[in-house]
Structure 1
């Protein structure tokens, strides 16, 4: 510890210790200074004295804390025999000091249960007993809400205020906004992380994952800044994650109990993208498919947060939502869904048109399938093309022998299908081999 640490002032809230109560014996080491200090303060507040010694002939920082906090310190060196154990040293000191007994806790962690320890000491026939330890209760899991925002000054304040009711922390990642998004978000109570320039939705998500990972967040819920997502659904996503232990929980806009009024063109486009995404993930059965692959309303576990924070393959654009699913699939993560209602009666914040957005997603899916599943994308269609080429070859030869004329159209089709199929098949096999070699 630094020499600049100063002795803390005495607290008026600590009751004066009494020698009519048994003392508590603790053992200082080089690594338990903080625990020693916390136990002394807690035990003193209950009018018991603490006696501290060290495990070795040294003066660790914990002994310095003990002296500052008015605990009684037994120097491990001096006139005591070298064969003394810390327990015997503390016992002898407590008896000589006139305490009615000693509750020995040593250097272990946990907190001494003083009522249970006094009861055990009263019923024992010895001067020293091992401390009874209070049961350790797990702390409540932390929930962070992450909101990527770009020029959302008109809605971000309301979204932050609503989300704060259901989260320990609300983090807004401002993606280079040119309006008052930062000021409004901070005034609403959010922690704001700023990008110097606009890097895209995926880039904002990566910053959210990194900040959540640094804070060791248990549950991260990401929602949009434009007010489409209902923050009151946050507890349902978190609860489903705790119950199912799924690494990712998606707010599903297509569930039976949802009331999302989605434009027909958008519903059709998402239906197509959902099918393509599931097929690219190798999900063929209806029971396992992801019903809403493009929902940005998601909850992430600590495991998913950590791995996504270090994954450089998550794109900066709107296709990041799909890339995250590919990341989850490659890591064997479980994905669950809960029904949620989306309000589309807000000013659109997506600066991509629906057609451009859809083409971006489809292009990303095709590139991913080509990289991850070249056999399915190239070799299987290639074999079908070769078979079609054989069919046209048969028709060409059959027509020639029957009529004596050579069908040029059939011959060209046969050649085209056969060559294309062979090239596609071998390309898929080569890419598949390279992928296996890379792994």
Structure 2
């Protein structure tokens, strides 16, 4: 297994932050820091919920697209392209592409402004906006910014540190965010022929050093970018874990494949999908087959002295940590322990462990690399058009079984069905009674 820096962390679930904030064994400073992080967490989770709710409204609804849907987010901002085109330490090929794309973007903006100037109906304007993604550049650009410890998301992304094709900076967090975003993009393109996070070469923006002592990392659905805190007492170095970036950027991929309402079982599936692709990306970077991998999400995230190994375990949900300062990992591994809750948008982080265990079961049963059969099955499930916005665990399971049979035959379908059966997500059997 590849060598890691010691304190790598993944996106932190709210139940863990709440436990830290509420535990009197922790110092007031630590509890206050957790409360602050929890407040910011609630803010971006609310954005995510609204984003997916808007995406999953019936087609044709005038309110079906968010106010700043990704129509023009797919076009790299002029200032980024200008910076790349003018930067002396950017490689010649990237600089030439940036100059070409800068001219292209200017033309697109001019056309867009001309179109806006015409008198059109609101439906016609919506149609124009819907066409914008097809005019994006053919190259995916990465850019990393310094948030300078500002916790106001209105000030994102911050000051540019490193852009596509530029040499490594002196800021190690920026270099990690840049390189690991590249690993995510390579995985999606090499394995699934998916270009960037929207299949249209959408640029990938990241901001490091967000807030002070901010112990989390997240995908901001409004700004359409990654945001990383530096961590503090328990959790730190989010940019160093490729599964952090893989998990969070996959939320954006989910927007463009099968948008799942971010609440209840569909929300847990949303989180599950991000864990699945995050763990596959990590395993690919480390060249690990399913049977050799540890299946830990947020490996090495806990600071020395904390009793635990990660934030989540896909192999054994509920065993990632057990520390008196923030309790025991609460994730159940079987659907028999599923209970409706109003916390955490209906337990989206809590109950993702159930389908996570099913994916682990399927990957181990298939053997080899997790993305070869299990991953391919889950990917085609997302791309099938058969996943409803309010999809339940059993509905999702049924589609994975069907896709496994289409891709690999009846034996593979039986393997996937058993993987779900073993976590309690089973088809009910009915016995007819009475006279026919």
* TM bucket, shorter chain: under 0.3
Could you say which structure has the greater relative contact order, defined with CA pairs below 8 angstroms and 6 or more residues apart? 2
Name whichever structure is richer in strand by fraction.
1
TM-score after normalising by structure 2? 0.23
